[in-house]
Structures are given as structure tokens and as C-alpha cells.
Amino acid sequence: MRLIGSKQSILAAAAFASALLLSGAAARAEDAQVFNITIKDHKFDPAELHVPAGKPIILVVKNADETAEEFESSTLKVEKVIAGGQQGTVRLRPLAAGSYGFVGEFHEDTASGKIVAE
């Protein structure tokens, strides 16, 4: 009897998870605004990017260096490796107004910048 109870709760959990999945998938915003950042000589250009607060944003990070870079920000919750000469697309959540720092993890001494949402 109790066994059936566990089975039912597993089913319920699975249903909950898939409902969450579907709602999440449906929510992927395709009308996001695109912003570009270029990495050159292990520096970001622009190092300070102003974006509208509360709107979904797509960041295209172009790595113009020969070496790979990891675009990382703990406040933006982003972690992305971009090979030399390639570009990477990062989808940001709608940001609350404020400043969000990011770094190039492989060259942290020179590669840092911030996004200002306003």
C-alpha cells in the first residue's frame, strides 16, 4: 500500500518537473535585444555596457584573440568558454537595475568589465 503511495508521489514529482520544463521552454524570449562585446588583447570592448533593466538581453561576445576565453560572471550567472576567433551567445535574464561585473576567467588581470542595467 505504502509502495503505491511512493509510486504516486514519484509520478506527481515527474508531472511537476515536466510542467516546469514546458513552462520554462515556452518562456524563452526570442524578442530579446542584442548587444555586442568584443574581446581583443584580453580586454573587453566596451568594458562598460549599458542595457535596459527588466528586459531580456542577448549578449554576443566575439573573441578576436587567438586564445580561448571564458566569459564569466557570478552575478549574471554566466559561464561560457569562447574559443579563439569565435563568438558566443549568452542569454541574460531580465536584470534588475544595477551593476553586474564580468571577467575573462583565463586572463582575469586584464579582462574585466561590467554591465549597467538602468
Partner 1 sequence: MLATLVIVFREVIEAGLIVGIVLAATKGVARRGFWVSLGIGAGALGACVVAIFASQIAALFQGSGQEIFNASVLLAAVVMLAWHNSWMASHGQDIARQMRAVGGAVAAGQRPMTALAIVVGVAVLREGSEIVLFLYGIANSGSESALAMVAGGILGIVCGALLSALMYLGLVAIPMRRLFAVTTWLITLLAAGMASQAVVFLQQAGYFQSFAEPLWNTSGILPEDSIPGRLLRGLIGYSDSPTAAQLAAYLLTIAVIIMLMRVVSRRRGAAAASLAKT
- Residues contributing to the site for partner 1 (CB under 8 A): 2-3, 6-7, 9-10, 13, 16-17, 20, 23-25, 27-29, 32, 56, 58, 60, 65-68, 70, 72, 74-75, 77-84, 86, 88-91, 93-94, 96, 105-106
C-alpha atoms less than 13 angstroms from C-alpha of 91 in its C-beta half-sphere: 7
Smallest separation, CB 45 to partner 1 (Å):
19
Instruction: For the sheet with 98-104, list strands across it.
Output: 48-51, 112-117, 98-104, 69-73, 78-82
Count CB neighbours of 54 within 10 A. Answer: 9
Measured from the CB atom, the residue of 48 and 79 that comes closer to partner 1 is 79
Beta carbon nearer to partner 1, 33 or 89: 89
